[in-house]
């Protein structure tokens, strides 16, 4: 295996390549997926571009400029570059990113996905590249900052939580007495706060 393919293999191993063909060993499916990417000349990346700074839409993009930007997009570009292929971004809702990879409609899912054993059952997942506990927080409705100044103070209130997210798990753990309003994107969470539908997100 030449150096380019070794680099590509190492990088691609860190991706959530699907191995939905149940009976085949992971290594065989991985090799087939890598061959497919190299053969087509493109890496299709499923992502939910609504989670800045990881992935978001550049609303001011002009002609020839990237429509989607962020550190996850940069990671996808780097991997595609190392593989010697083009990156194709497939924008999706967060809860469909993994399923799209498993179904073979995308080659990788890079979208601020936290490692979870159940996710690793259907995909090849890399270890974390951001500290889960390092950037978690909550937003509260304007005017309630003094009253809701801690996670404990948010417990028992109405909160917006994104479906299938790490934050949903945190809400269940730290806000067990809260009423959850399920949302599909962070933008929906902010809008729920602005309209007064929820006290926190």
**Per-residue pLDDT tens for 39-77?**
999 999 999 999 888 899 999 988 888 999 999 999 999
Mean of the per-residue pLDDT values of the chain: 83
Let me know if residue 57 belongs to a domain. yes
**Per-residue pLDDT tens for 8-46?**
545 544 444 433 334 445 555 556 788 889 999 999 999
- Reported pTM: 0.67
Regarding whether 82 and 51 lie in a shared domain, the answer is yes
131, HSE (Cβ side, Cα atoms, 13 Å): 5
Regarding whether 90 and 18 lie in a shared domain, the answer is yes
For position 79, what pLDDT does the model report? 93
Let me know if residue 199 belongs to a domain. no
For residue 64, what are its two tokens? 């020839």
Regarding whether 78 and 33 lie in a shared domain, the answer is yes
Domain interval for residue 172: 136-194
**Per-residue pLDDT tens for 127-149?**
777 665 555 788 999 999 999 99
Regarding whether 81 and 104 lie in a shared domain, the answer is yes
CATH number at residue 147: 3.40.190.10
Cα(96)–Cα(122) distance, integer angstroms:
13
Regarding whether 115 and 48 lie in a shared domain, the answer is yes
Helix (H, G, I), strand (E, B) or coil at 84: coil
- 6 vs 96, which has greater pLDDT? 96
């Amino acid at each position: 295996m030449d150096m380019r393919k070794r680099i590509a293999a190492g990088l691609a191993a860190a991706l959530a390549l699907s191995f939905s063909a149940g009976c085949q060993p992971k290594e065989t499916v991985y090799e087939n997926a890598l061959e497919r990417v190299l053969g087509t000349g493109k890496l299709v990346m499923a992502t939910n571009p609504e989670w800045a700074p990881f992935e978001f839409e550049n609303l001011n993009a002009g002609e020839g400029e990237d429509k989607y930007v962020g550190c996850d997009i940069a990671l996808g570009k780097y991997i595609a570059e190392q593989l010697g292929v083009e990156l194709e971004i497939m924008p999706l809702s967060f809860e469909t990113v993994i399923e799209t990879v498993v179904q073979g409609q995308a080659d990788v899912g890079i979208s601020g996905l936290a490692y979870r054993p159940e996710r690793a059952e259907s995909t090849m997942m890399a270890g974390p590249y951001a500290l889960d506990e390092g950037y978690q927080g909550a937003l509260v409705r304007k005017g309630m900052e003094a009253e809701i100044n801690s996670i404990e103070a948010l417990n028992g209130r109405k909160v917006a939580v994104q479906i299938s997210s790490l934050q949903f798990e945190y809400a269940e753990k730290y806000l067990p007495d809260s009423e959850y309003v399920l949302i599909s994107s962070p933008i929906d969470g902010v809008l729920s706060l602005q309209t007064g539908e929820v006290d926190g997100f």
